Structure 1
Amino acid sequence: MSTGESYYFRLGYDVFGPLVVGFSGWLLRESREYRAEAIAFCARDGYILKDAFDLLYPDCEIPTKYLYVSRASTLPTRILAQKNFSDVLDNAHLRKLTSPALLASRFNLSHERALELAKRCGVDVSSPVPAGRYYADNSAYRRFAELLVKEYRMSAAEGSGLFSRYLDEVGTGTRAVIVDVGWNGSTQAAMELANKGRRTTTEYLGCYLAANKSERLYDSNLKVEGYLYDEGHPFSDWFHVMESMGLLEFFLGAPHGTTLGYQIVDDVVVPVLGEFEFDDSSEGRRTKEALEQMHQGCLAYVRAHCSSKVPCVENAAHELIEVCSDPSDEDLYMLGDLLFFEGKASRLASPRPVREYLRSPWLLASEFGASTWKLGFLCRMLRSRALARTIYRFLLRMKR
C-alpha cells in the first residue's frame, strides 16, 4: 500500500481489511457446516461485509442476499409478540439517558406528534432522562411512553405483515445464515417471529461479529455464533469487543439511510429508506468522506489478499484491538470528531474540557452516554490512556 494514502484509507486497509478477511473465512465455514441455502447480510452493518465476501468468494455455491432490515422495520413484529409494557420498552433499546424525542424516533413518531404528546404529559421532549423513568409507575415519562406504544400498536399489524411478505419475496430458502454486527440478536428474533406469517418457513443461524448470549433480551433458543466474542471465549475478549464496538459500528456504516419499514409498489414489497444522515455540513461531508475512504482501503486489502499480495493474518482482530484499546494521538484526533447517527448525531469521542464537567456532572453523564467510542472519549478527556482504560474497564465490570 502506498504511504501517500489518507489516514482513513490506511485505517481501512491495515485495521479493518484483515478483520473482514478473517470474518469472511469463518462465515463461509459456518455457512457450509450449517448447510445454508442463502447467506443474508443485514442492512446496514452487512453492506461492506457482503462486498468483501463476494470479492473473496465469487464462486461460492451459497447465494448471498442483502436484506433491508433494521430495528425500526422489525419493531412491529417484535412489539406484537410482547404483552408486557416493560418488554415493549426493552425492544426500543433505550440508552441509559434517553430523551422523549429519541424514544419517539424509535417508534417512528414524527417530531411534531412527539411535541404534542410531550406537552400533554408535561415533559420536555428534548431533555435526556434516566431510562428508568419511562418504566416507573405513575411518572409523566411513563405516561408519554404508554401513549407512544398505544399509537404504534395501531399500525404494527400492517408493518409486521409487510415484513413477513418482504422475507418471502427476497427468498432465503429453508435454512439461512444471518450476518450482522450482532450482540442481542433482535433482528434474528424478529425474523423467527415473522415465520408465522410466511409461505416458507426458514431456520436461521446468526453469524455475528460478537454474540451476547448470556444477556440477550430475546429468545435464548436462537442459534447464534460469534466471531470476536462468544460463550467460551476468554473474558479478556469481552473487554476488547466492548472497547472496539463503537469504531466497528461506525466502520460498518452504509451509503444509504436506515430501513424505516416497507411498502407495496407494483405488487412487490420494497423497503422504505430514511434520508441518508450525512448532510452537507462540513462535519457531515468530512464524516462521509472518511467512511468512504475506510471502505476503499478495506476492499483494497481484500483484493490484495485475493491476489496473494498480503499474507493471511492469524489474529485478524489484533490491529483493531490495538487502535481501540491503546489509540495514538492521531487516532483520537482523526476519529474522535467524526459523526455517528443513532436517533441523532453525536461525535465518536469528543469531550469538553474537564472543568466544564466539574461544573456540571450531569453534562458528563449525558455526553459520555451519547459517545459511540467511549474509551476514546475518556482518553481525550483525561489525557491518560492507562487511567482511561482502568476507569472504562471498571465501568464495564459494573455493567456486566
Structure 2
Amino acid sequence: MGNRLMKKNNKTGSDRTARIVRLIIAACLAVFLWMYINGNDINMITQEINNIPVTLINTEKLSSKGLVLTEQKNYFVNIRVRGSERNVNTLDASQITATVDLAGVKGPGTYTADVVIQGLPNSVILQETQPSELNIKIDSIRHKAHSVTINTSGKPGNNLSVVSATTTDQVRVEGPSDSVNKIKACVATANVQDMTDDTDVYIPVKAVDKKGNVLSDVECKPSMIKASVKVGTTKRVKIKAPKTTGSVADGYKVAKITVSPKTVLLGGKASDLNSINAVRPSTVDLSGLKISTTVQKKLNLPSNVTNMDGSANVTVTIKVEALTSKQLMVDDIEQRNVPDDLTVTKMENASVTVKIEGTSSELSTLDIKDLSAWIDFSDAAEGTGSYDIQVTTDKGTIKSVSPSSTSATLKSKN
C-alpha cells in the first residue's frame, strides 16, 4: 500500500512538472511569435504621415440652425505614429481618416473641435496629431435682394456697338453675413460677339466684391437671369448749358453757367441719332441764389437714345456774383447814318460818362474799347437839333449815360 501511495505521488508530481513545462514552452512560443511579428524594442520606429484631409461631418445640420461655414476651404492634418518597423512600413495611409464633428455648433462664432483620427491598426500607436483641433468659423445665413448689372464680352457685327445691356430681373443672394456684406454688385456677362440685332439672352449671375472677385460662398437665386441687349450706332454731341427758371437775389447776377463734361457719346439706331446735334441737362432753378453752386442734372435724352458714357448725370456749375458798377468816359462818339447831303458841323457834347453795372469778373477787364457810343442821324434835317446818345457794351449792363443827349448842327453840303 505504501508503494502504491508513493507511485501515485510521483505520478502527480510528474504531471505538475509536465504542465509547468508546457506552459513555459507556450509562453516562449508566444513571445517568439510576438517578436517575430512585431519585432522587439530595438526595432520600434516612428513615422509621420502628412496632409491627411479632414472631413467636416454633420455640416447639413448647420443650415437647419440658420448657420453656414464662413470659409469654404480644405483642412489637412499631420500625424505621427509608433510601432514595429514591420507594422509601420506596411501601414496603408489611405485607410486613415480625419474628421471634425460640427453637430455641437450652437451659433455664429469660432467653433473649436477635436480632430478624430480613425483607420489605424491596433498594432500601431497614434502619438501626435498636428493640429489636434481646428477652429471653424461659423456665421449666420443672410438673405438679401439685389439688382443685377449686365456686362458684355465680344464685339457685335457690322461695325455696330452695344447700346445697352439691361435686365429687369433681381436675384436673392444667400450666404454668410460677412460675405453678403462684401457684395459690391451682382453681375452677369452677355456674349455679344457678331451680334447684329437686339437680342434677349439667359446668362448666369455671380456676386462680386469691390475688387471684382467672385464671392464663391454667396449663392444667387435664380442663378440664371434674362438680359436684353440692344445694338446700334454711336454719335458724340455737344452738351449745352441748361435752361433756367427763376431769378437770383436782388443785387446779384449769374456770371456764367458751365457744364462738365462738354460732350456726351450717344447710342441708338442711326435714324434716331441723325437729328441730334446737341443735348441739354434738365432745367436749373435760380430762385434766390446769392452764391455760386454746383448741381447734378440728368441729361434730357429721347427714350430710345442711350448715354454711352455711363454716368446718368452731368455737373452744372452756376457762378453767381454780387453786382458792382464802374464809370468810364467815352470821348469818341460815332456819327451814324448822316444823310448824304448833310454834314455835322457842330456837336455840343463830344464826350459822355457811362455807368456800367456788372459782376466783378465782368468789370475787371472792362475798358473804353469795350464801349461803343454813337448818334443816329438817319432822321436828321438841316439845322440844330437834340439827338440821343446811344452806348452799348458786351460786358455788364449800361445803367446811365450822361449826358444822354446832345445838341448838334447839320448843314447842307451844297
Q: Which has the higher strand share?
A: 2
Q: Which has the larger radius of gyration?
A: 2
